[in-house]
Amino acid sequence: MAFQTQIREALSDLEAAGLLRSPVRISGPQGPEVEIDGRRVLCFCSNNYLGLANHPALVAATEAGLHREGVGAASSRLITGTMDAHREAEVAYANFVRAPAAALFSSGYAANVGTVQALAGSGDVIFSDALNHASLIDGCRLSRAQVHVYSHRDVDHLESLLREHRPRSRRALIITDSLFSMDGVTAPLRGVAALAQSFDAGLMVDEAHALGVFGPDGRGLCAAQGVEPDVVVGTLGKSFGVAGAFTAASEEIVSLIRNRARSFVYSTAPPPLVARAAITALHLVREAGDARKTLLANAHKLRSELRMLGFEVPDGESQILPVLIGDNDRTMRLSAKLLARGVFVQGIRPPTVAEGTARLRLTPMATHRPEHIERAIDAFASIVRDQ
Ligand SMILES: *Cc1c(COP(=O)(O)O)cnc(C)c1O
């Protein structure tokens, strides 16, 4: 069979399973409202939680960076060097999470894949939460370490796996998201950290969705819970409104990452203007205490109102609200109906979530005003009435 025909078949299989995705087209910037096909609609599916993606101070910082250092970083940092902007961003973010050092990556995906692969290898063992982000899973695969997946947030299961597999391994690394991206629930960080300590394992926490939202000055859930992991990964593309990511850890760990993480070594460094924007974003995030309160109040209001309308929204305290639907097609039909009513909420299907747990993933922003929240609730209510 011709290659093109095989590819066409793969696509039609996806379509038949209700799994074919084709992103909508957005015109203009990301914000609490976005323009889709010439229409202004409310956006309730972005990770731009604090509304910084189009913040004037970030636009200005990017512009200033552009005029100072140009556009491209020219090569991997191991080849053309670390630019001032990279180093300043690394120092700023390391300080933010109270770590001695940090390495900057082009994305959270690259940071996770590279960090896990640099820190564990053949002969080592990794313990990974069942609902960890895909980039962590890919890092585990790339590392060639032995991987044991523990049941989601199950400290007892983690302990029994550690008892069984830790003694025969060289290094051990426990990996967890702090705030799970598709369920909006938090990891049992204190329990996991205690196990890491007693089994002499490293602890890596991915704070992608928690930084900027939780903890003192938005320093994340580890800071909120007084947990000090060996490695923290944060993305700059969510609350910080920019792009890229950092891995923060001891000087030694970061040094090994700079030497061994393939996504760091074999990839062009992030544009310096992005690092400049990230530094300004950090100032904005530290000062965003009121925005954090508004964001979580918006989430609380949506969660309780949607439950009153009969939607299945699990318990949670975070800005991520899964509205569980189950069926893939039904989920996407609901998403389309909401969009027709002026509210953009993305449907999330397998393999991003488990089979049979398709959902609408609703994420408010700090910049949604009360009338925006009301309009979103009205759209859900009108769907219930039409059923
Ligand atoms: C989004 C996300 C990433 C990837 O970050 P990007 O900067 O978008 O590549 C990593 N981990 C988690 C938990 C995420 O939600």
Place 94 in a pLDDT band, splitting at 50, 70 and 90: very high
pLDDT of residue 355: 93
For atom 3 of ligand 1, the residue with the nearest CA is: 108
Place 387 in a pLDDT band, splitting at 50, 70 and 90: confident
* Structure letter (DSSP) for residue 374: H
pLDDT of residue 1: 78
- Tell me how far the alpha carbon of residue 209 lies from the centroid of ligand 1, in angstroms: 8
pLDDT of residue 261: 98
The amino acid at 191: G
Mutate to test the pocket of ligand 1, among 133, 178, 233 (most ligand atoms within 8 A of CB): 133
> Which residues does residue 344 pair with via DSSP β-bridges, in sequence order?
43
* Residues taking part in catalysis: 181, 209, 238
pLDDT at 22 over 90: no
| Ligand 1 atom index nearest CA of 135 | 10
Average pLDDT over residues 89-95: 98
pLDDT at 117 over 90: yes
The alpha helices in 205-349, defined as continuous H runs, are 221-225, 251-260, 262-265, 272-286, 289-308, 328-340
Q: Which residues of 89-108 are buried (b: 16+ CB within 10 A; e: fewer)?
A: bbebbbebbebebbbbbbbb
- Tell me how far the alpha carbon of residue 108 lies from the centroid of ligand 1, in angstroms: 5
Domain assignments of the chain as residue spans, ordered by start: 19-50+289-386, 56-286
Q: How many of the other CB atoms lie within 10 Å of CB of 345?
A: 24
Q: Which residues lie with the beta carbon below 6 Å from any ligand 1 atom?
A: 107-109, 112, 133, 135, 177, 181, 206, 208-209, 235, 237, 245
- Tell me how far the alpha carbon of residue 171 lies from the centroid of ligand 1, in angstroms: 25
Q: pLDDT tens digit string along 265-295?
A: 999 999 999 999 999 999 999 999 999 999 9
Average pLDDT over residues 34-51: 97
Tell me if 288 sits within 8 A of 212, measured CB to CB.
Answer: yes
Tell me if 324 sits within 8 A of 293, measured CB to CB.
Answer: no
pLDDT of residue 321: 98
pLDDT at 139 over 90: yes
* H or E stretch covering 385: helix 370-386
Mutate to test the pocket of ligand 1, among 181, 222, 231, 263 (most ligand atoms within 8 A of CB): 181
- Cis bond leading into 351, ω under 30°? yes
* H or E stretch covering 143: helix 134-143
Mutate to test the pocket of ligand 1, among 93, 238, 239 (most ligand atoms within 8 A of CB): 238
Average pLDDT over residues 234-244: 98
Tell me if 19 sits within 8 A of 349, measured CB to CB.
Answer: yes
Place 240 in a pLDDT band, splitting at 50, 70 and 90: very high
Dist CA 359 CA 367 (whole Å) = 24
Average pLDDT over residues 82-97: 98
pLDDT of residue 18: 81
* Residue 69, C-beta contacts closer than 8 angstroms, at least 6 positions apart: 83, 84, 85, 272, 273, 276
First CA to last CA across the chain, in angstroms? 45
**Which two structure tokens, joined as six digits, stand for 42?**
């409310």
Average pLDDT over residues 94-117: 98
Residues in the chain: 387
The fold adopted by the segment(s) 56-286 is: Aspartate Aminotransferase; domain 2 (3.40.640)
Averaged pLDDT of the chain: 97
Q: pLDDT tens digit string along 144-202?
A: 999 999 999 999 999 999 999 999 999 999 999 999 999 999 999 999 999 999 999 99
pLDDT at 386 over 90: no
- Tell me how far the alpha carbon of residue 267 lies from the centroid of ligand 1, in angstroms: 18
- Tell me how far the alpha carbon of residue 208 lies from the centroid of ligand 1, in angstroms: 6
For atom 10 of ligand 1, the residue with the nearest CA is: 108
The pTM assigned to this predicted structure is: 0.97
* Residue 341, C-beta contacts closer than 8 angstroms, at least 6 positions apart: 378, 379, 382, 383
pLDDT at 222 over 90: yes
Q: How many of the other CB atoms lie within 10 Å of CB of 280?
A: 23
Q: Rounded to 5, what percent of the chain is helix, strand, coil?
A: 45, 20, 35
Is the domain 19-50+289-386 a CATH 1.25.40.10 member?
no
Q: Which of 14-28, 110-124, 305-319, 330-344 has the weakest average pLDDT?
A: 14-28
